[in-house]
Every structure is written in C-alpha cells, then in structure tokens.
Amino acid sequence: MQVTVAGKNTLVDKQSLPFRWDFNFPGENGRAQYAISLPANSGAINREMYAVYIPRVGNQVHAYLNGYLLDAPSALDDSLQDASKQPYWLSIPSVLLLPNRPNILRLDTTVQALRWGGLSEIYYGPERELRWQYAWSYWWQQSSYLVIFSSLFLMGMISWALWLKQREGLYGLFALSAMWGGLSAINQFSATAWLPWPLQGITASVALAWHIVFMTRFTLGIAGRTSPWVRLTLLASALSVGIAFVLAEPIYWTLTVALLLLPIVAALIYTARAVDQDQSKQAKLLFVVSLVVALTALRDLFVVHLSAQGMSHFTLLPHTLFLYVIMMGWILVQRYTEQHQLYHQLNVTLEQRVKEREQQLSHSFEKIQMQGEERARLVERQRIMSDIHDGVGGQLVGLVNMMKRGEANQSLFDQKQLSEHAQMALDELRVAVDAMQPVDGDLATVLATLRYRLEPRLKASDIALAWRVQVLPIMVDLTPQKVLQIQRILLEAFTNIIKHSHATTATMVAQHKPSVPCVQIVLVDDGVGFDPDTLTSQGHGLGNMRFRAQAIGAKLSMTKGLPKGSVLTLEIPIA
Amino acid sequence: MPSSHITVALVEDEPETHARLLSALASDATIDVIFATNAAKPMLQWMVSKMGELSPSVLLVDLGLPDQSGLDVIRLCKAMHPTTEVMVITMFGDEANMIRAFEAGASGYLLKDGTESELSEHVRTLHGGGSPMSPIIARQLLSRMGRAKKEADAGGAPHTALKEGLTKPNSDGLLTDREEQVLQFLSRGYSYGELAKQMGVTINTIQTHIRGLYAKLEVNSKSQAIEQARQRGFFEA
C-alpha cells in the first residue's frame, strides 16, 4: 500500500488490513492509495457479476480496476463528504476483469484526522454472496439511524408538549436528550456534512455526548434521584470533545469517550439502588436498560475506539440508548393507564356524589315546591276569604243591619229590600264559587255560567236576554281572580238592569277584536237609561265596576243607548 | 196510583235539604215519593227488594252520603233498575266533578242553590226525556271527549262529517260533529231554544243529543271498566 502524508509518499509495510489512519498518522490529514490484487477467478468466463464490499473506507474515495475509474462518489479532498459513514459497495463489470490472472483494484482516498480514515478488510466475490453482508452492514450504519431519528423526533415532540403543558422536569430532560440524539443521528445517516471538518465532528460529538448526559439525567429522574452535576458534566464533555478535536490526537478522543462512561455508570449504580429500594417493574426495567447501555458503552470503547480492528466494527451505543426511547414510551403508557384508572375512579366517585347531591337537591326542590304550594294555597285561601268577606260578607252585614233597623222600627222593615239583599248575598256567593271552576281559559264559558245563574232572575223580572257570544280566543291569563272581577262587574250591571232599568230586553254581545287585541263585552238594555250629566262614580255601583275593571287592566265605559236604555262596554286585553 | 204518576225515590243525608225536597215534591200531585232515606245502604237494600217488581221513575241521590259513595248507589241502581232515571243532587259549583256521576249512569242533576222549589219541574223534565247541561259541564265534556276525538282522528279512525240535522250513532264513544257543535254552543251560554234555532232543529233533537252525550259517557266508562277487567285477566278461563 502506498500512503501519502503532507505531500510525501510513504510506503506502509503493513500489508494486512484493516488499516487505521489515525493510529498510523495521528493528527494528520493526507492521502492514501491502496492497491489490492484481486484473485483470478472465472467471473470473466461465466459472466457472473462480481463485487467488492468494504465495511468501512474513509474519507473520500475513488476506485479504479486495472487502471479504469470505476467509482468516484465525491471529489477527493471534499471534506463535506464522508464515505466512512456507510459500507462501501463496488460492482465489478465482468468485461473489465482479466481472465486467469490477478486484477488490480486501486483505491485513492483523502483522509481527515479523527474521521475514521483508513480501510477495513475487503470482501471480493460474486454479488449474490456479498449482498446480504452489505445490506446487514448498511442497516446498522444507515437505516437504523433513520429509525432512531424518527423515534427520537416523535417522542421528543410528545415530551416537549407534555413539558410545556405540565412543566414536569422528566419530560423536559427527555425532550432535550431526544433533540441532541436526533442531531447526532442526522449526522450519522447523512453522507453530506453541514459544516466543514472538524467543526462537523465537534458538533456531532457534542450532540452525542449531551444526548448521553441528558438521557442519564432522565434515567436518574425516573429512579427518583437528582444530580447537581448536570451542568458540569455538559460543560466537561463539550470541553473534552473540543480539546480532542483541536489537538486531533486519538488518545484524547478515546479519553472523551471514556469520560462519557462516567454518567452512564452513575446511572447504572443509582438504578441498581432503586431496584434495591423499590422492587417495582419500572425500576427493574430501568436497571436492565442502564446495564445494557453501560455494557454497550464499554464494548464500543474497547472494540471500536481502542482497537485497530475498530475499522471493521461499528458503535452500538446510539442503538442501545434507543432503549430509553422505548422506556419513555412505556412510562407514558403506564402513566396514561394510571391516569385513566384514576379518572375512572374519580368518575365513579363523582357520579356517586352527583347522585347524592341530586337527591339532596330533589329533597330541597320538593321542600321548596311544598313551601311554594303551601304559600300559593295560603294566598288563594286569603283571596277566597277576602272575596267572601267583601262580597257575601258585605251583603250579609247589610242584611243584618236592615233587619236590626226593622226590629227597632217596624216602619223601616222592608221585606222586598231584605229579599233583594239576601238574593245579592247569594249571587255574590255563586260568583265567588264559580270563579274557581275550571274554564280552560275560555271567557265564553265564564259569561255562560253567569247567564246560567242569572237566567231565572231575569225571567222572573220579565226581561228577555238576547245572547250573542261568539267564539272567543283562549286567554291563558284568565285566573280565578280575573274571572271573579269580570263576573262581579257583569253581576252589578245585570242587577242594575233588573232593579233600576225597567227594561224588557237585554242584549249581551261578546266578540274578539284582534286589532286591539281584546275581548269586547257589550251589555245593552232598553230601559229608562240614565242622565250622563247626573251620573256620578257612585251611581249604580259604577265606581265599583270601574275599580274592578282597572284591577284587571280592562276598560269600562257606560253610555246612553239609542233610542233609550244604556250601553255598558268592557274591553279586556288579551295577553 | 195513576199510571201517569212519576214515582220518585230519594236519598239525601242533610236533614234540611231532605225536608225541603220532600216538601217540594209533595206539592206536585203528579209525583209520588215511594221511598226516601238518608243513607246509601237502606236505599240499596230497598232497590234489591224491589228488583223486577217495582222501579222508580226517578232516583234522586246525593253524592256525599255518610256510609257509601252516591256513585255506587247510581251504578247499582242502573244495574238493577235500568229504566230508572237518576238525578244527582249536588252543591252548585261542583259541576266539574259531575262527570263521574254521568259516567256512573246519571242523566240529570239538581243544584243545591236554593232553587229546589222548582224540583218537581226538573223531575218532570227528566222523566220526559230532557236533561240539563250547564256551560261548565259542556266545557268539561268538550275538553275530555274532544281530545279523544282528535286523537282518534289523528290515528286515522273513521269519522264522518254529519249531514245537517242528523246525528249518526257513534258506537266508539267519540263525539260526533253534531254533538261537538252542541257542546260548543252550550259552553258559550246558549239555551236549548237558541241552540235549536241556530241549528235549525227542534228542542227535542237537542235534548236527544244531550241524553246521547250522557249515555256516551256511561258507555265509555263501562267500556273502560271492561277493558281494564280484560287486561287484568278477569275474563280468562
């Protein structure tokens, strides 16, 4: 093999692969040319496709077969490209193979210090035999990092959102770890760097270090531990990475990797203690994960970083750190389930409480309703008492007075007047009772009942009653009190007709006037009428009638009839 | 006793009213009071003893009897003496509750409002096929039977508009259009005479409608009782 360092060609007598640049030329950038003699084979004869599979070659490479350029994935010296991140595959066209004598494969490479420059062992053979080895290697070096990145991104976002909502430190730590781990993973599966070397190396290494630091801090958090040295560890690991790259000595980089073992081992110790104290499934699982991570870190240190054979091996720590992602998912599921059970229990408790409260409310409501009904009964009782007192009572008192006056002085004893008073008392009693009858808001039935009661008296007085009551609208606000007022007004009016008018005919008209809107009741008689100039509010109980009309929001008027008699008009508004 | 005489049985527990009613009935030569008592049980015993032998033309019954409900007296009387007309003596203002008496089989009523002096006339009217109906009772019947009719109409039950002046018998116990019209007018206070004039029929036709309405109430009541009995399995073997 011929290796060029800083413009000087040097032959390296080390014939056996793998060749690790950093171990041979620590801290140096340079060029290396590898000439490999491929054994003669029958590929050229049987036309079978042959291939070369190289687990790792770094950092930029051009491949030649028997002097013909076969592959140049990037320009040499282009430090934004790095071929060492993925296995190298070279299909060998059979037409270029020389039959029955060795073929020379030449690899021209450029190398940057501390970037896995060099060449691992080489596999040459039929494509079908090598393909699976390449695919397996490709999975570990590339595809798995895409899976790791996707999972970290998803879980990181969830943790971030949970931290924003709940401000629980554990979620924040996982989110930070996931962020740095994601950055590290991107560096691994992306062949093109976003910064020139060594800045790219520093960034990616710091990302991996902080991913580890935050993940171990997260682990301690789950184990119920706090650690005051997080910031210190972050600073120390970043400094260590920086120094290793600036000095570009592999030993410093190895020391940095070893330094990262400290938080991992600390996490292992604390999770072991947690298992000792708390035999929960979660503590045990956490310990197992920490143990796997620690063993992997040790394996990477000795097998990959410290060994010249490291060119042929790959770090597994990022993959085992992925177990923490699964752990986080498991914790979230556990917490969700516990919360769900808690809410279910809360719901059951709440339902019970609501039921109890409903019962209490129901009792309270019944009590209030009973009190309300009792109050309504009391009000109604008082109203009935008042009606009877004012109406029947008034008439009876008048009757008693008249009888007393008659007893004292026989000349004042007027049987007809007494009879009239008794009749009026009876009428008052009737209207008071009728007012309580169910009429379903039908004013026509109220008027009809009055007629039903008064008809015998009108007949006895030889007064013919013409009845013109139309179909009236249902009045929802037709309360017993309102009914009583209307009946009393009309009773007064009919009594006036019977006692004073000397009429022979009375006409009762009731109609709906939608334009107002109201129900208009008109009572006309053909009696002697009255003189409007002498009619006072006291005359014939007109004042009482007006007062009662006002009480129910109705309008009452009394006019002279044509050609004689009187006309009483009552307009009752409809709600 | 001349065959044209109206025989009356009376059950009324209030002594003063009892006496007034007896006095009013005695003043009419065409009316004979054949039995009078102040409690339900003696009246029922008397009716049992006279079953198939002698039925009074009219039974006057107070609903609020001390030993048993007057409604029971009406029901048993109609069962034992179907030809007897039952007239209820009631407090005025209690018309809204009279429906139950009509359901039991009553077809007339007398209000205890001091107009008992006209009792003999009322008895004669009832015996002659006339029944009174106050506006409040008409309103109650409209609310009750009119609602049933609307429900039946909505449910697609056959209901035929009636020709002017005719009343089609309605075996389902629902109101006919004519009966509804009669109740509408009565609830608005029109007298039988005014109603007959408005509808272009005789007063007798109106009376027939009224009797028909009371009979329908009784039929309805009986149908419901039978239906309830059937649902409770009383008729099952």
Q: What is this model's ipTM?
A: 0.79
CA-based nearest residue to A176, from A212, A226, A229: A212
Between CA A376 and CA A397 the distance in angstroms is 29
Q: Cβ neighbours of residue A276 under 8 Å, at least 6 residues apart?
A: none
Domain shared by B123 and B188, yes or no: no
Please report the pLDDT score of residue B164 as a whole number.
33
Over residues A485-494, mean pLDDT: 90
Any CB–CB contact under 8 A between A452 and chain B? yes
What digits encode the pLDDT tens for the residues B155-167?
544 333 333 333 4
Is residue B167 in some structural domain? no
Among A443, A449, A469, A475, which would you mutate to test the B interface (most chain B Cβ atoms within 10 Å of its Cβ)? A449
Give the pLDDT of chain B (237 residues) as one tens digit per residue: 445 689 999 999 989 889 888 988 998 889 999 999 999 999 999 999 998 888 999 999 998 888 988 999 999 999 899 999 999 988 766 766 788 888 888 988 887 766 666 788 888 888 888 888 888 888 888 887 766 666 666 654 433 333 333 344 444 567 788 888 899 999 999 988 999 998 999 999 999 998 888 888 877 666 666 665 666 565 554
Is residue B186 in some structural domain? yes
Chain B, 12 to 51: residues with Cβ < 8 Å from chain A are none
- Of A67-76, A126-135, A229-238, B38-47, give the lowest mean pLDDT range: A229-238
Any CB–CB contact under 8 A between B128 and chain A? no
**Domain enclosing residue B116, as ranges:** 6-136
- In B, minimum Cα distance to A432 occurs at B93
Please report the pLDDT score of residue B172 as a whole number.
56
CATH of residue B190: 1.10.10.10
Residue A20 β-bridge partners: A118
Is residue B41 in some structural domain? yes
Is residue B212 in some structural domain? yes
Q: Is the pLDDT of residue A318 over 80?
A: yes
Q: Which two tokens stand for residue B16?
A: 């003063």
Chain B, 194 to 213: residues with Cβ < 8 Å from chain A are 194
Q: Which residues does chain B have within 8 Å of residue A523's beta carbon, measured at their own beta carbons?
A: none
What burial letters (b/e) apply to A475-496, b meaning 16+ CB within 10 Å?
A: beebebebbbbbbbbbbbbbbb
Between CA A505 and CA A217 the distance in angstroms is 109
Between CA A497 and CA B36 the distance in angstroms is 42
The DSSP letter of residue B13 is -
Among A392, A436, A442, which would you mutate to test the B interface (most chain B Cβ atoms within 10 Å of its Cβ)? A442
Residue A111 β-bridge partners: A30
Q: Cβ neighbours of residue B176 under 8 Å, at least 6 residues apart?
A: B162, B167, B168, B170
SS (H, E, C) A315-376: CCHHHHHHHHHHHHHHHHHHHHHHHHHHHHHHHHHHHHHHHHHHHHHHHHHHHHHHHHHHHH
Is residue B160 in some structural domain? no
* CATH superfamily name and code, A439-446+454-575: Histidine kinase-like ATPase, C-terminal domain (3.30.565.10)
Over residues A360-367, mean pLDDT: 91
DSSP H or E run through A238: helix A230-247
Among A426, A430, A437, which would you mutate to test the B interface (most chain B Cβ atoms within 10 Å of its Cβ)? A437
Is residue B145 in some structural domain? no
DSSP H or E run through A545: helix A542-551
Domain shared by B101 and B200, yes or no: no
Task: Judge: B114–A467 Cβ closer than 8 Å, yes or no.
Answer: no
Q: Which residues does chain B have within 8 Å of residue A445's beta carbon, measured at their own beta carbons?
A: 135-136, 138-139, 187-189
The DSSP letter of residue A572 is E
Q: For the purposes of burial, counting CB atoms within 10 Å of the CB of A401, is it exposed (0-12), middle (13-18) or buried (19 or more)?
A: exposed
Is residue B221 in some structural domain? yes
Domain shared by B184 and B126, yes or no: no
What is B57-95 written as a DSSP string? Answer: SEEEEES--SSS-HHHHHHHHHHH-TT-EEEEEE-TT-G
Overall number of domains in chain B: 2
Q: Which residues does chain A have within 8 Å of residue B138's beta carbon, measured at their own beta carbons?
A: 445
Q: Are A83 and A59 in contact (CB under 8 A)?
A: yes
Between CA A139 and CA A142 the distance in angstroms is 5
Any CB–CB contact under 8 A between A449 and chain B? yes
The DSSP letter of residue B205 is H
- In A, minimum Cα distance to B138 occurs at A445
Q: Which residues does chain A have within 8 Å of residue B187's beta carbon, measured at their own beta carbons?
A: 442, 444-445, 448
Domain shared by B97 and B182, yes or no: no
Sequence-ordered alpha helix ranges (H) in A4-90: 21-24, 43-46
Please report the pLDDT score of residue A421 as a whole number.
80
Between CA B162 and CA B171 the distance in angstroms is 15
DSSP H or E run through A159: helix A144-166
Q: B104, B136, B168: which is the final residue of a domain?
A: B136
Q: Is the pLDDT of residue A385 over 90?
A: no
Distance from CA of B231 to the nearest CA of A (A): 33
Domain shared by B114 and B217, yes or no: no
Q: Which two tokens stand for residue B114?
A: 């001091």
What digits encode the pLDDT tens for the residues B178-231?
888 899 999 999 988 999 998 999 999 999 998 888 888 877 666 666 665 666
Q: How many CB atoms lie within 10 A of CB B197?
A: 13
Q: Which two tokens stand for residue A473?
A: 């609208």
The proportion of chain A whose per-residue pLDDT surpasses 90, expressed as a percent, equals: 37
Please report the pLDDT score of residue B160 as a whole number.
37
Over residues A283-304, mean pLDDT: 92
- Reply yes or no on domain A2-133 having CATH 3.40.640.10: no
Over residues A552-558, mean pLDDT: 92
Q: Are B126 and B108 in contact (CB under 8 A)?
A: yes
The DSSP letter of residue B237 is -
The proportion of chain A whose per-residue pLDDT surpasses 70, expressed as a percent, equals: 94
Between CA A258 and CA A236 the distance in angstroms is 12
Phi-psi region of B28 (alpha: psi -120 to 50; beta: other; left: phi over 0): beta
Please report the pLDDT score of residue A414 as a whole number.
76
Q: Is the pLDDT of residue A394 over 60?
A: yes
Give the SS3 label for residue A464: strand
Closest partner CB to A469 (pick from B92, B140, B188): B188
Q: Is the pLDDT of residue A277 over 80?
A: yes
Q: Which residues does chain A have within 8 Å of residue B136's beta carbon, measured at their own beta carbons?
A: 434, 437-439, 445, 449
Please report the pLDDT score of residue B157 as a whole number.
42
Domain shared by B19 and B128, yes or no: yes
What digits encode the pLDDT tens for the residues A135-173?
999 999 999 999 999 999 999 999 999 999 988 888 999
Task: Judge: B93–A430 Cβ closer than 8 Å, yes or no.
Answer: yes
Q: Is the pLDDT of residue A116 over 90?
A: no
Distance from CA of A431 to the nearest CA of B (A): 9
Q: Is the pLDDT of residue A1 over 60?
A: no
Backbone angles phi, psi at A565, to 5 degrees: 85, -165
CATH of residue B121: 3.40.50.2300
CA-based nearest residue to B90, from B115, B127, B64: B64
Residue type at position A45: I
Any CB–CB contact under 8 A between A469 and chain B? yes
Phi-psi region of A61 (alpha: psi -120 to 50; beta: other; left: phi over 0): beta
Any CB–CB contact under 8 A between B218 and chain A? no
Domain shared by B130 and B201, yes or no: no
Domain shared by B22 and B130, yes or no: yes
Between CA A91 and CA A327 the distance in angstroms is 42
Give the SS3 label for residue B108: strand
Q: Is the pLDDT of residue A217 over 60?
A: yes
Over residues A87-93, mean pLDDT: 91
Q: Cβ neighbours of residue A301 under 8 Å, at least 6 residues apart?
A: A254, A257, A258, A261
Is residue B19 in some structural domain? yes
